[in-house]
Amino acid sequence: MTDYKTFIRDRITQLRLDKGVSEYQMSLELGQNRNYIQGISSGKALPSMTQFLNICEYFELSPAQFFNSDCLYPQLIREIVEEAEPLRENDLMLILDITKRLKR
């Protein structure tokens, strides 16, 4: 069984470090007290659902992307999808073909 408390704590820590912000700075930017993220990082607390969604927004991730820690570049993937959405089907098929070729 997955230990979600540990996963959430570690994932927030990793995303925070990748973004280059301190626990203190992130706490304040989320509108929380200065020790808020430290409490999560230390395992003393978990974010509420509302705060979890705020944290996802802070990192520009969907909740699904938050839990998909295998994705190395979630922001870049999201941006690619946003840019591709208005394209015609033929153009999307070309992008898919190129992506498959690059994976080889």
What does the alpha-carbon distance between residue 43 and residue 13 come to, in Å, rounded to a whole number?
Answer: 11
Q: Which fold has domain 1-70?
A: 434 Repressor (Amino-terminal Domain) (1.10.260)
pLDDT tens-place string over residues 26-61: 999 999 999 999 999 999 999 999 999 999 999 988
Domain ranges of the chain: 1-70, 72-104
- pTM confidence score: 0.70
Closest CA to 15 of 68, 51, 81: 68
Is residue 68 within 8 Å of 75, Cβ to Cβ? Answer: no
Q: What is the mean pLDDT of the chain?
A: 90
Q: How confident is the model at residue 1 (pLDDT cuts 50, 70, 90)?
A: low
Indicate if the alpha-carbon torsion angle 44, 49, 50, 53 is positive or negative: positive
Nearest Cα to Cα of residue 55 among 96, 84, 27, 80: 27
